[in-house]
Every structure is written in C-alpha cells, then in structure tokens.
Amino acid sequence: MTQITFGTDGWRSIIAEDFTFTNVSFVAQAIAEHLQNTGKAAQGVVVGYDTRFLADKFAETVAEIMAANGIRTYLCRKFTPTPAVAHAVLAHRAGGAVMLTASHNPAEYLGIKFIPEYAGPALPEDIDPIVDNLKKVMQTKRVVALEQVGEEPVEMIEPLPAYVEHLETLIDFAAIKAAELKIVVDPMYGAGMGYVESILQKHGCSVEAIHNWRDPLFGGSLPEPTSKHMGALIERVMETKASLGVALDGDADRLGVVDSTGRFYSPNEILMLFMEYLIKNRRFNGAVARTVATTHFLDRMAAHYNCPVIETPVGFKYIGRALREENAFLGGEESGGVSINKHIPEKDGIFAALLFIEMLAKTGKTPAQLLEDLRERFGPVYNERLDLRTTKAVKAAVLAKMDSWEPEEICATKVKKITRIDGLKAELVDGSWFLVRPSGTEPVFRIYTEANTEEQKQALQNEVRAVLGV
C-alpha cells in the first residue's frame, strides 16, 4: 500500500507514481471528515492549485469530494498562489483550504496541503486528526462520491481582487510610485505570475515580467528563488538597468531578491533588513519570531531594540502561531518565508516583494547600503547551510552520535547553550552557533553554521562533520 506521509508542509510525491487521483481522493476524504468532525464544514472550504501538470484536474477532484461530503466549496478559477488561497479563507470566512502545490520542488512532484481557518500552515494538532482519518479511509477505500449524496454547490472564485485590496492596506504604493523605481519580476512560471506585476502596474509603477507564462516543466529548472536559479533575472536586471529584481517560487510563498548590480540577497539578509525597516520606519513593536535555523543577527538587533526573540522549530506553521498568538510583529525562516502580524500568518513572497520595494522607496537607499548600515552597527555575520546526503546506515550512526554528543567546547570556544527542539544546536559564547538537522524522510543531514568570520564558519563546519562522521 502506498505510504502517504505528511511532512513540514503537507504531502508531496511524484505525479502518477504515488501522487495519483486515487490517493488524492483519499486525502481529500480525510480532510472532509476532519472539517465535519471539527464543526468547520458548514463554513465551507477553498480549493486552490498551482501551475503544475494536472494540478487543475486534481483540484477539481478535491472540490468534487468536498461537495459530495456536503461541504460548500470555493474552487479557484485558475492557478492561484498559496498566500492568495490562504487569504481567501479569511475573505470567505471558510473553515479552511486545500492547496494543490509542490512549491519549489522539481516539476515531477505535486503536493496537497491543508490550511486551517486561521489562514496559515496547519499545526500538528490540525494535521494529526487528518492523518488518523486517512489511515481509516485507505483501509476501507471509502470515498464519498457525488452520486451517493446530495451535492453542495461548487462556486468558482477569483481570489486576486480581495487579496490586492488587503495588500493595499499594508503597502505604501504612493511612495513606491513617487520613487520611480524600475522593477523586474520573475514568477518562475509559477502560480504567482500576474500578481506582483499587475499590482505595481495598477499603481503606476514601472515593471517588467519574465517567465510569466505557464510551463509545468519550469523551463527545465527548479521554481526556487535562490542564487543558483536566478541567472536569467540577474541578466535582465542588469541589461535594463533596473532598480531591483524579485523572484517568486512555484506557489509564490517565497521571495528572492537581486539588486541593480546583480547581487543576490539571502533570506536571512532580507529578514535583517525587514526587521530594521519595520521598527525604525514603520514603528512596529513586539517580538520577532525565527526558526532555530535562522540567523542570530536578528537577536543582536532585538537586544538593541529591547524586543523579545521567539525561537521555533523549523516550519512556518510555528512562525505563523507566533504571529497569531505570541505578539510577534515579524516572523521568518532562512529558507525564504516571511510575514508580519498585520498580514496572514502564512509565508508570502508577493507581500514580501512589495514590502522590499516599499523599503527602498521610502529609505532612498539601495539594499547594499541598508545592509552595510546594519553591519556597521551590529557587526559582521557569516552563515551557510550544507545539505549532505549519506546512506541509511550512516544516518543511523550519526543520529546516535547526535543523541549522546554534549560538547563543552567547539573550535577552542566554549559552548554556552545546547538545544534539541529541532535537531542538535550549540550556541557558543562568542555568538557563533551550529545546528544539525536530519531529514525526516531521506538519508540527508543539514548543517547550519553562523560565525563572526568566514574562517570560523568553515572551522565550525569541519569540526562538526569530523565529530559526527558526515
């Protein structure tokens, strides 16, 4: 029997191998029963999908099953970004949403995720009952079909207008227009195409889009806005002498940025810039939420501004909870997700792109100047993530070493704190740190390191790998 495993952000698998109409039907039935059991079915459910192969057909299948279960269904008229689908949950006061997406994964993958009524990634307490339902559904193979019960209506919706109206309460488009910035947008053939560019054009801004047509193969690359996959955007920004280039991943919940010189800005750097801008220019206050794998430069800034830092396990669902429940004004992760507490508690590359543009418009500075200002005030920082593939046997051995390793000193520097909320993390007295996290599904380890010099960062990496044998 096929194993359907929910990871940090839903279930993803290869189309036609495990991601089949039968298995999607099972998951949809499990979600429908969860909505019924929690009393949310009466509020209805939103169904959205990205630009991947057959994503629209899988979404239709989910919508039909929801309707067959007596749940009013709002089906997106065309491919729609995850953040817009999440906002549609609030706009329609729905009991949740089902999103068909594999985000930034390779083209052969598709996925399904459940977004609860709070419009953010589902927490374990929302996913565990669905997983329990799914086990029963797969055992009985019972899926309610339309011919078996009275069908609830499926309403076709376009989430863009309400989503844009909401963004217009968050972003100063007048300032953006006045700054006369020239922007190049790369939606990477994904569901975000038409969003950033149409919003900026509506407000009289100069914008050009590339890769803004549906290609389920994503141009033969990955729809992931990292420096490795943004060569075409960098080239176009420099050719046109644009002020900025912004890129979105496959479902537009992550942001990538390049400046006029072609320099790429990491998610950690974007978070640093946002924190300074929101506090200094927007007068935001409260806590800042980051995952265990995200830069501690935010902690340096938080100490200066006297605001708490909330450290969470990896996964934006925990950041979302901090935004909703723990007075965090900003939340983010090193993998590219970011949001604020006045917005949906879901990572949103579209909103982040617009906020970045607003930041440049209102400060009158380039990203490089803003970043240099921060480093002059708070010191240098060097961080990196290594993804290391091993074997099952090596993985088991490394996990055993991680369980028993209690280092008191690393690279001749004393260890201040060890935490195990998500992997093994050691913080050193000089502010440097490392984190080792195993993949939940593959023989892969991720080693995150951050230090005050490039040499110290590399030394940390080497010592951790040597001790763990990875």
Residue 152 reports pLDDT greater than 70: no
Higher-confidence position of 440 and 80 = 80
Q: What's the confidence (pLDDT) of residue 153? A: 78
Neighbours of 21 (CB within 10 A): 13
**pLDDT at position 353:** 98
Residue 316 backbone zone (phi > 0: left; psi -120 to 50: alpha; other: beta): alpha
Q: Is residue 147's pLDDT more than 70? A: no
For the chain, give the mean pLDDT: 94
pLDDT value, residue 270: 98
User: Average pLDDT, stretch 224-249?
Assistant: 97
Of 91-100, 315-324, 380-389, 435-444, the one with minimum mean pLDDT is: 435-444
- pLDDT bracket for residue 444 (50, 70, 90): confident
Q: What are phi and psi of 132, to 5 degrees?
A: -65, -45
- pLDDT for residue 67: 93
300-352 pLDDT per residue, tens? 999 999 999 999 999 999 999 999 999 999 999 999 999 999 999 999 999 99
Please determine, for residue 146, whether its predicted confidence score (pLDDT) is greater than 70: no
Q: In terms of C-beta density within 10 A (0-12 exposed, 13-18 middle, 19 or more buried), how is residue 39 classed?
A: exposed
Q: Which of 220, 191, 6 has the alpha carbon at shortest distance from 111?
A: 6
Q: How confident is the model at residue 280 (pLDDT cuts 50, 70, 90)?
A: very high
Give the model's pLDDT for residue 358: 98
Edge-to-edge, what's the strand order for the sheet holding 109-116? 11-14, 109-116, 96-100, 45-49, 73-76, 154-157
Predicted pLDDT of residue 2:
65
The yes-or-no verdict on residue 4 having pLDDT over 90 is no
Q: What pLDDT is recorded for position 10?
A: 83
Taking CA atoms, 204 is separated from 163, 192, 197, 200, 462, in Å, by 19, 20, 11, 6, 51
For residue 77, give the amino acid letter: R
- The band of 19, judged by pLDDT with boundaries at 50, 70 and 90, is very high
The average pLDDT across 154-183 equals 96
pLDDT of residue 148: 52
Task: Write down the pLDDT at residue 80.
Answer: 98
Percentage, residues of the chain above pLDDT 90: 92
What pLDDT does residue 379 have? 96
Q: Which residues, including other chains, have CB under 8 Å from residue 199's CB and lie 6 or more apart?
A: 164, 167, 350, 354
User: Average pLDDT of 381-408?
Assistant: 92
Q: Which secondary-structure segment (H or E) carries 451?
A: strand 444-451
Domains of the chain: 11-158 (3.40.120.10), 168-263+349-363 (3.40.120.10), 266-347 (3.40.120.10), 382-468 (3.30.310.50)
pLDDT score at 151: 58
Q: Which two tokens stand for residue 372?
A: 């240099």
Lowest average pLDDT, out of 29-38, 380-389, 432-441, goes to 432-441
Average pLDDT over residues 269-284: 97
Q: Could you tell me which residues are beta bridge partners of residue 385? A: 448
CB 210 within 8 A of CB 183: no
DSSP β-bridge partners for residue 207: 183
Q: How confident is the model at residue 5 (pLDDT cuts 50, 70, 90)?
A: confident
Picking from 265, 315, 305, the residue whose alpha carbon sits closest to that of residue 285 is: 305
Distances (CA, A) of 72 to 93, 127, 152, 289, 312: 12, 21, 5, 35, 35
pLDDT of residue 443: 85
**Three-state SS for 253?**
coil
pLDDT, mean of residues 227-233: 95
Confidence of residue 131 (pLDDT cuts 50, 70, 90): very high
| pLDDT, average across residues 383-400 | 92
Q: 357 near 279, Cβ under 8 Å?
A: no
